[in-house]
Amino acid sequence: MRRIRCTRCGGPVEIPFPLVAVDCIVPDEAGRVLLIRRRFPPPGWALPGGFVDAGESLETAVARELLEETGLRLTALAQFHAYSEPSRDPRHPMVSVVFVGRGQGSPRAGDDAGEAAFFALGDLPAEMAFDHRAILDDYARRRYPAEPE
């Protein structure tokens, strides 16, 4: 939350700036999607992703997060959709730009991921973090078509 002064009355004004994050849907050849089990709260399985660092583009951030959390090097990328429901993250208002990507290598858990595994869209884990189940529902229904190039 940032505090500034009102230009009219001089009183304090609080502006709750949302944070910006990126997430990546990484399908394999069988159509399964890569998820990571979070090591830190909030618990659950999630798409690989995280916060965009200062001075970093969305594309650079998603490539960095994918490498840090899964060991995969991003080889193709397409923007899928931005999710901005204020209550989507229990920690802070958050806007997440979701990408569909392809990665090179074999997934292995790293950074704040305790586990990394592929799941069929019809057989996702019961405990999903944030709104990632809804994001994957949108992806399964091709609500926002995107294919990495």
Give every CB contact of residue 119 below 8 A, 6+ residues apart in sequence.
32, 33, 35, 45, 125
**DSSP structural state of residue 65:** H
**What tokens does 53 get?**
């660092």
- Specify whether 115 is catalytic: yes
Separation in Å, CA 15 to CA 9, 21, 38, 89: 16, 19, 30, 18
Of 85, 115, 127, 147, catalytic = 115
Per-residue b or e along 92-101, where b marks 16 or more CB atoms closer than 10 Å to that residue's CB: eebbbbbbbb
Which residues participate in catalysis according to the annotation?
115
